[in-house]
């Protein structure tokens, strides 16, 4: 596989897919509350995508090599779940933190991928800080994106920031190119050294989606569903995800919509 460069028409397709992916999260936001089950959130998302947007979930039935088909329309990763949490019948409770990760496919075949953290009721100061630091880490990574920069610059900036806050970066999962396929080249590591890895070129589209643990970076599979990943030390984990485009002068965040959390104050660019 190699990195695809999107044409102006391709970019229009990606803008639409990514806005729709963000709008699914906007739609879900008021429903993500104590007492609601993650299965109900999944049901709402599925119905919205199919009946309101005319999109499809990219995760439903998704089956990479060596995995069972993913059984839901989104991922709900709660507390010490790092990623790929499967919606279930357990109600959310006050103090939980949860990542909701949505990827849509438009009728034209374009993919848009994004995730946000949700704080249920009054979470602990520690839990809220982890969510905030992870959000800022994602944006610090995004801020590195411009033609001529390298993916190692993105990973390094995220790692430096997260580790300075006392947290650790998960190494086993990474961001990814995206377009008419869910996971394309390149791999976007959330750690690394400046000046290494692929050089960025206008027209590339990829995700930046750091998974940050409050404790050690080690992870393990949980249970036997073939998907759920948790922190080995059971510490909390957070993640945010945007899909971005490399432009002639910098970047454009594609997964934005009316309900997107505003970018941090330190972000000057686009």
Q: How many residues does the chain have?
A: 270
Shortest spacing between CB 18 and Co ion, in angstroms: 11
Nearer to ligand MF3, 143 or 241 (CB): 241
Does 42 help bind ligand MF3 (rule: CB under 6 A)? no
Shortest spacing between CB 253 and Co ion, in angstroms: 14
- φ/ψ region of 223 (left if φ > 0, alpha if ψ in -120 to 50, else beta) reads left
Shortest spacing between CB 115 and Co ion, in angstroms: 5
Chain contacts with Co ion (rule: CB under 5 A):
101, 113, 207, 241
- 8 A C-beta contact, residue 232 and residue 133: no
Among Co ion, ligand MF3, none, the one that 252 touches (CB under a kind-dependent 5 to 8 A) is: none
Beta bridge partners of 103: 113
Among ligand MF3, Co ion, none, the one that 84 touches (CB under a kind-dependent 5 to 8 A) is: ligand MF3
Does 113 help bind ligand MF3 (rule: CB under 6 A)? yes
Site for ligand MF3 in 201-230 (CB under 6 A): 207, 209, 227
Nearer to ligand MF3, 82 or 200 (CB): 82
Among Co ion, ligand MF3, none, the one that 70 touches (CB under a kind-dependent 5 to 8 A) is: ligand MF3
Among ligand MF3, Co ion, none, the one that 136 touches (CB under a kind-dependent 5 to 8 A) is: none
Shortest spacing between CB 102 and Co ion, in angstroms: 7
- Taking alpha carbons only, the member of 25, 1, 49, 63 closest to residue 226 is 63
Does 84 help bind ligand MF3 (rule: CB under 6 A)? yes
Query: In the sheet that 211-213 helps form, which strands lie side by side, from edge to edge?
Result: 168-169, 211-213, 237-239
Candidate residues 16, 38, 99, 103; the one interacting with ligand MF3 per rule CB under 6 A? 103
- Residues forming contacts to ligand MF3 in the complex (CB under 6 A) are 59, 62, 70, 75, 84, 101, 103, 113, 207, 209, 227, 241
């Amino acid at each position: 596989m190699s990195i695809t460069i999107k044409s102006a028409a391709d970019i229009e397709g990606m803008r639409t897919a990514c806005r729709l992916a963000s709008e699914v999260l906007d739609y879900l936001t008021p429903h993500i509350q104590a007492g609601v089950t993650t299965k109900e959130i999944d049901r709402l998302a599925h119905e919205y995508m199919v009946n309101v947007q005319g999109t499809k979930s990219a995760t439903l039935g998704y089956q990479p090599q060596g995995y069972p088909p993913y059984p839901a329309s989104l991922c709900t990763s709660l507390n010490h779940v790092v990623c790929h949490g499967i919606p279930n019948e357990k109600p959310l409770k006050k103090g939980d933190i949860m990542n909701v990760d949505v990827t849509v496919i438009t009728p034209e075949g374009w993919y848009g991928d994004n995730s946000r953290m949700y704080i249920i009721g009054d979470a602990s100061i520690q839990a809220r800080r982890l969510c905030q630091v992870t959000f800022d880490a994602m944006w610090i990574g995004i801020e590195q994106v411009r033609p001529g920069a390298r993916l190692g610059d993105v990973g390094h900036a995220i790692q430096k920031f997260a580790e300075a806050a006392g947290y650790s970066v998960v190494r086993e999962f990474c961001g990814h190119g995206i377009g008419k396929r869910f996971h394309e080249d390149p791999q976007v590591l959330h750690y690394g050294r400046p000046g290494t890895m692929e050089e960025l070129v206008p027209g590339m589209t990829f995700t930046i989606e750091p998974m940050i643990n409050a404790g050690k970076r080690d992870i393990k599979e949980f249970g036997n569903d073939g998907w759920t990943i948790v922190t080995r030390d059971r510490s909390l984990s957070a993640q945010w995800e945007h899909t971005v485009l490399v432009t002639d002068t910098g970047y454009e965040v594609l997964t934005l919509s009316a309900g997107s959390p505003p970018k941090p104050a330190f972000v000057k660019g686009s």
